[in-house]
A and B are shown apart, each in its own frame.
Chain A
Amino acid sequence: MTLPMGKQLRVVFGETVTELAAKDPRIVMLDGDLGSSTQAKLFEDAYPDRFFQMGIAEQNMLGVAAGMAKVGLVPFISTFVAFALHRPLDQIRVLIAQTGANVKITAGYTGLFTGKAGKTHQIVDDIAVARAMPGMVVISPADEVETKGVLAWAVDYDGPVFIRLVRDDTQTLFQPGHRFHFGEVKVVREGADITLISTGTQTPRVVDAADILAADGVDAHVVHVPTIKPLDVAGIVAAANRTGRVVTVEEHTVIGGLGGAVAETLSEHRPTRVDRIGIQDHYTESATDEELLDMYCLSAERVAQRVRKLLASDGPVTSCD
């Protein structure tokens, strides 16, 4: 059985920030001409005087956000991750991360699902880039319910937060009423044979992969990591202790993301074999979402297949087939 589909996280973003704004006049939205894509347009409809169009000029937009934060506002950023993080990286570093500016970098269109926009828009190194910056919180929510919780939490938190959002339909992992706990991992499936650690909208696919593995007699322990920075060290160690073998799975490069963070942590706190499933060290390309998940070994079937191979092997397994 696979987890059901839920609302697109971009819609959740537009709706939730609009709802939060009703209760908090400090909230404003800065758009880099993509509000019709990121669904920040829902905010503009409700609060035209709190929606600031910045045009196609993102270095300025992140600088403006820093200035607004310094006079007491809580700016949210509406654009694709390529333009929310990579293009204005020095502005984020100097004006936001170094100063602790209360800016919420709600980065849309992360990962592979960009509506067939190809490698210029498919950003799979954002977790690595964002988490290398001191002072930056990095969160990758799994689904609609968790995204709502993360956005509400981010308003109450005073400081820069990078939030990974996804364009397309994603599966629902959590029931309504699930609470996001900042800085804590969440065990989403108990198991004894191997620990699968995932983040973001990849976690539902890993839960489905665990179900496939269960049919083969492999009992996987699945841990979801919404907060990649600061990482829940105790939670990661406990996850490793559970089975003694860890596989990380992420819709992100295997370099420096969740897999990197988990491997760094376990090598220091509980040396454990860690295999990393994710995008290898190459650029990606356009295809349908299903094809992309298959090509890059991230569908539930591919993840299950890969885990089986890892269990049967003493060495690394880097190919899908």
Chain B
Amino acid sequence: MTTDPAATPVTAEEMARLEDMARRIRVAVIRTVKTCKVGHVGGPLSAADILAALYGRVMRIRPGEPDWPQRDRFILSKGHSALGQYGAMALAGYFPLEEMFTFNQKGARLQGHPDMNKLPGIDISTGSLGMGLSAGLGMALGARYLEQDFRTFVLLGDGECQEGQVWEAAHVAPRYRLDNLVAIVDHNKFQQFGWRGDSAGHRLPPEDPGALVARFAAFGWRVMEMDGNDMADVVRVLEEATQPQGLPVAIIANTLKGYGVSYMAGNYKWHMGVPTDEEFAIAMAELGERDGGAP
């Protein structure tokens, strides 16, 4: 039998630990972007709470044994949020936090998008949008065929759901009643550029409110919603989602791109970007880091 970390009660202390992990993921993302002078920011920030809950509690993993066969699988289908996953992995113990600063450097295991051939603990490489749910579907079908009880979690972006392949996979998963598969959509309301609103600076969200919920439901999924930037809600919904009910689960996580830093939140321009020294100091202060001046 595999041990289930989610079997331990959600105490106030546990919740504070996970919230601090999410905070530290955000700090690690921004420090890395500042130090390496490159990287996506908004997506990793919106997903930080989900990643903390998964790597910090919900997933059955052994960071010291990344190839453990019974581990739950995780696929970052929105592979450009790699920094968020790297931060969560470092804090979970897969590698030292300092390795974050090798991001995208020559010879680094931390590539611009997650690379399973370089970094142990990445279950499949991603980076070209729309592919992760299919790979997760294959892992979930494989788990059932091999009579293994690991679960597969796939984190998608809301803009990513414009890719047709997502819906090819969405069509197939309920046909096999794969209740060992959990798709989480980081519905952060922005894509890189998107449709123009009232002005050039006003960009419309990738999907209308409620559209993703309706669409996954129409495809036959068990659909749940959560406030993806509220740790209590994230933990509650993820743990409920892993109670099998005969169908794959789609969780629409309502989040905000750039969440956690005031000037990044809800600003599409922070899809990618390197903060100035002043912006960096503000971000660190808002995230509760005392040594705000030192990346």
Q: Which residues of A contact B (CB under 8 A)?
A: 28, 49-50, 52, 54-55, 57, 59-73, 75, 90-91, 93-95, 98-100
User: Which chain B residue has the least Cβ–Cβ distance from A57?
Assistant: B168
**B135 touches which one: A49, A57, A67, A100 (CB < 8 A)?**
A67
Q: A28-B145, A67-B138 are in contact. Are A94 and B165 (CB under 8 A)?
A: no
CB pair A91–B146 under 8 Å, yes or no, is no
A98 surroundings in chain B (CB, below 8 A): 117, 125
Contact in complex: A59, B142 (CB < 8 Å): no
Contact B171 A67 (CB under 8 A): no
- State how many angstroms separate the Cβ of A120 from the closest Cβ of chain B: 19
B22 to chain A, nearest CB (A): 28
Bound complex: CA of A91 vs CA of B133, how far in Å?
12
With A60-B134, A67-B137, A70-B123 in contact, is A91–B165 under 8 Å at CB? yes
Bound CA–CA A57/B219 (angstroms): 15
The reply on B126 being an interface residue by CB < 8 A is yes
Asked if B125 and A99 sit within 8 Å, CB to CB, the answer is: yes
- In Å, the complex CA distance between A289 and B123 comes to 45
B136 at interface, CB cutoff 8 A: yes
- Known A54-B172, A60-B172, A99-B125; judge A94-B142 contact (CB<8 A): no
**Known pairs A67-B135, A71-B73. 16 more at Cβ < 8 A?**
A28-B145, A52-B141, A55-B171, A59-B164, A60-B168, A63-B133, A63-B169, A64-B172, A66-B124, A71-B148, A73-B145, A90-B131, A93-B128, A94-B125, A95-B125, A99-B116
* Cα A73 to Cα B148 with chains together (Å): 13
Closest residue of chain A to B170 (Cβ to Cβ) is: A60
Cβ-neighbour of A71 out of B128, B134, B142, B164 (below 8 A)? B142
Q: Which 4 A-B pairs have the closest CB atoms?
A: A67-B138, A63-B134, A60-B168, A57-B168
The residue among B117, B125, B135 with the most chain A CB atoms within 10 A of its own CB is B135
A91 to B125, CA, bound (A): 11
Residue among A50, A54, A67, A69 with the highest chain B CB neighbour number at 10 A: A67
Collect the chain A residues with CB atoms within 8 Å of residue B124's CB: 66-67, 70, 95, 99
Q: Let me know if B63 is at the binding interface, CB within 8 A.
A: no
Give the complex CA separation of A281 and B180 in angstroms. 49
> Is B139's CB within 8 Å of the partner chain A?
yes
Query: Are B139 and A70 in contact (CB-based, < 8 A)?
Result: yes
Known: A63-B138, A64-B137, A68-B139. A100 touches B117 (CB 8 A): yes
Query: By the criterion CB–CB under 8 Å, are A71 and B165 in contact?
Result: no
Which residues 107-130 of B sit at the A interface, judged by CB distance below 8 A? Answer: 116-117, 123-128, 130
- Provide 12 A-B residue pairs closer than 8 Å at the C-beta atoms, listed in order of the A residue: A52-B141, A52-B176, A59-B131, A60-B172, A63-B169, A67-B142, A68-B138, A71-B73, A91-B131, A94-B125, A95-B124, A99-B116
Contacts of B36 in A (CB 8 A): none
**A54 vs B137: C-alpha distance when bound (angstroms):** 11
Residues of A within 8 A of B171 (CB): 55, 57, 60
| Pair A63/B135 contact, Cβ less than 8 Å | yes
| B143 interface hit (Cβ, 8 Å) | yes
Contact check, A64 vs B125: say whether CB atoms are below 8 A apart.
no
What CA separation (Å) do A64 and B134 show in the bound complex?
5
* Residue numbers in A under 8 Å from B142 (CB-CB): 67-68, 70-73
Do B138 and A70 touch (CB < 8 A)? yes
CA distance A28 to B142 in the complex (A): 10
Closest to A99 in B: B125
What's the Cα separation between A98 and B127 when bound, in Å? 12
A69 to B73, CA, bound (A): 13
Known contacts: A64-B135, A64-B137. The answer to whether A59 contacts B145 by CB under 8 A is no
Please indicate the chain B residues that have their CB under 8 angstroms from the CB of A67 in the complex.
124, 134-142, 152
- Give Cα distance in the complex from A75 to B176, angstroms: 17
Please report the C-alpha to C-alpha distance between residue A96 and residue B130 in the assembled complex, in whole angstroms: 15
Tell me the complex Cα distance, A28–B135, Å: 15
Taking a contact as CB atoms under 8 Å apart, the answer to whether A59 and B117 are in contact is no
Contact A63 B141 (CB under 8 A): no
Residues of chain B contacted by A99 (CB below 8 angstroms): 116-117, 124-125
Which residues of the partner chain A approach B172 to less than 8 Å between Cβ atoms? 54-55, 57, 60, 64
* Complex contacts, B165 vs chain A, CB 8 Å: 57, 59-60, 63, 91
Bound Cα distance from A67 to B143, whole angstroms: 10
A67 to chain B: closest residue by CB = B138
Among B135, B145, B176, the residue within 8 A (CB) of A66 is: B135
| Residues on A with beta carbons closer than 8 Å to the beta carbon of B138 | 63-71, 75
Q: Measured between C-beta atoms, what is the minimum distance from B115 to chain A in Å? A: 8
State A62–B128 Cα separation when bound (angstroms): 14
Given contacts A52-B141, A66-B124, A72-B142, contact A95 B135 (CB under 8 A): yes
Partner of A94, one of B131, B145, B152: B131
The smallest beta-carbon distance between B134 and chain A, in angstroms, is: 3
Residue on B nearest A49 in the bound complex, by CB: B145
Q: Which residues of B contact A62 (CB under 8 A)?
A: 134
Give the CA-CA distance A231 to B133 in the complex, in Å. Answer: 35
B134 touching A94, Cβ below 8 Å: no
C-alpha gap A217/B262 in the complex (Å):
85
Q: Which one of A69, A72, A94 contacts B126 once the chains associate, using CB atoms below 8 Å?
A: A94
